[in-house]
């Protein structure tokens, strides 16, 4: 089974951060160019697989492995889109862009599983490949990789999969998501045979009762208060925009902040509830 370790990436020098940002930005640029070319061909009724791959334009910055990996992720996104349309016979939106040049690209990239190394310890660090152009500009040797410190501990151990690196401009933090293949022997199993029933709502996010007599209740008042507060700030910011402008970086950040707060509240609630039900010996959940 696949599980994901999440940790922060912390460049230790201004140069390392510049190199990391250029790597992420070039990856987003490659993704956007591929996506634009494929969307143009898709809406023209042509095959999306016949467009240029832009490999030669990006390999000197990203390196061969990362250039190929971003392209493969884009390929997978389009295959998933076509499969969804075919299987559901419903309209679906084709893959979108990672931000844009005017408002700022979404900084992210993917590193092949055999192209990066994480050394865990008192001073944990991540090593990732960069292209020859970046190496020449910033004084890296031919076989040297970018080394950045990481914060956090791996919750899961197993064979590492493709690494996903992103920059969160709300928290101003670089993050890494490392999926690993965990042996089935590490899967948590219930300690009993009880069942639980969940009633999911709005003001009360979840009300839960188990056959063992336990009851759990999670209020939605605080998450909704935060949601309304940020929504009001978004509306206020939109009123101050010029007549010919529909959004801004500040508004985009507020939207992301609102979504992240909501997701954090829901995920924290789910982690707490599932842990309690596991400890109570609940085997089956009805909702």
Q: What is the mean pLDDT of residues 238-265?
A: 85
Cβ proximity of 154 and 176 under 8 Å = no
Cβ proximity of 207 and 199 under 8 Å = yes
Cα–Cα distance between 153 and 206 in angstroms, integer? 30
pLDDT tens by residue, 106-163: 999 999 999 999 998 888 999 999 999 999 999 999 999 999 999 988 888 889 999 9
Tell whether the model's pLDDT for residue 167 goes beyond 80. Answer: yes
For the entire predicted model, the pTM comes to 0.75
Q: What is the mean pLDDT of residues 31-46?
A: 95
Which of 53, 34, 5 lies closest to 181, judged by CA?
5
Percent of the chain with pLDDT over 90: 61
pLDDT at 85: 85
Beta strands 173-181 and 163-168, pairing class:
antiparallel
Tell whether the model's pLDDT for residue 184 goes beyond 80. Answer: no
Phi, psi of 71 (to 5 degrees): -65, -40
Tell whether the model's pLDDT for residue 40 goes beyond 70. Answer: yes
Question: Three-class SS of residue 286?
Answer: strand
Cα–Cα distance between 214 and 73 in angstroms, integer? 44
Alpha helices by DSSP H, listed for 175-248, are: 221-239
pLDDT at 15: 96
Cβ proximity of 50 and 38 under 8 Å = no
Tell whether the model's pLDDT for residue 229 goes beyond 80. Answer: yes
């Amino acid at each position: 089974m696949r599980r994901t370790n999440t940790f922060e990436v912390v460049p230790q020098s201004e140069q390392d951060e510049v190199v990391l940002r250029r790597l992420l930005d070039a990856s987003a640029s490659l993704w956007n160019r591929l996506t634009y070319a494929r969307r143009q061909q898709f809406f023209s009724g042509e095959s999306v697989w016949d467009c240029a791959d832009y490999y030669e334009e990006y390999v000197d910055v990203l390196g061969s492995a990362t250039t190929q990996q971003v392209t493969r992720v884009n390929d997978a996104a389009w295959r998933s889109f076509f499969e969804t349309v075919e299987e559901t016979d419903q309209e679906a939106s084709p893959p979108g862009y990672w931000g844009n040049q005017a408002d700022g690209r979404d900084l992210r990239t993917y590193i092949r599983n055999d192209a990066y190394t994480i050394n865990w310890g008192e001073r944990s660090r991540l090593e990732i490949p960069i292209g020859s152009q970046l190496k020449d500009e910033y004084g890296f040797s031919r076989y040297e990789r970018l080394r950045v410190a990481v914060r956090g501990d791996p919750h899961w151990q197993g064979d590492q999969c493709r690494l996903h690196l992103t920059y969160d401009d709300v928290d101003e933090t670089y993050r890494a998501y490392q999926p690993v293949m965990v042996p089935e022997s590490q899967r948590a199993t219930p300690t009993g045979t009880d069942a639980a029933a969940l009633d999911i709502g709005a003001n009360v996010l979840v009300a839960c009762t188990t056959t063992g007599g336990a009851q759990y209740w999670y209020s939605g008042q605080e998450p909704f208060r935060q949601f309304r507060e940020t929504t009001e700030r978004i509306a206020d910011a939109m009123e101050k925009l010029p007549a010919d402008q529909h959004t801004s970086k500040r508004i985009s950040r507020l939207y992301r902040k609102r979504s992240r707060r909501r997701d954090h509240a829901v995920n924290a609630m789910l982690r707490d509830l599932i842990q309690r039900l596991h400890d109570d010996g609940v085997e089956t959940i009805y909702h």
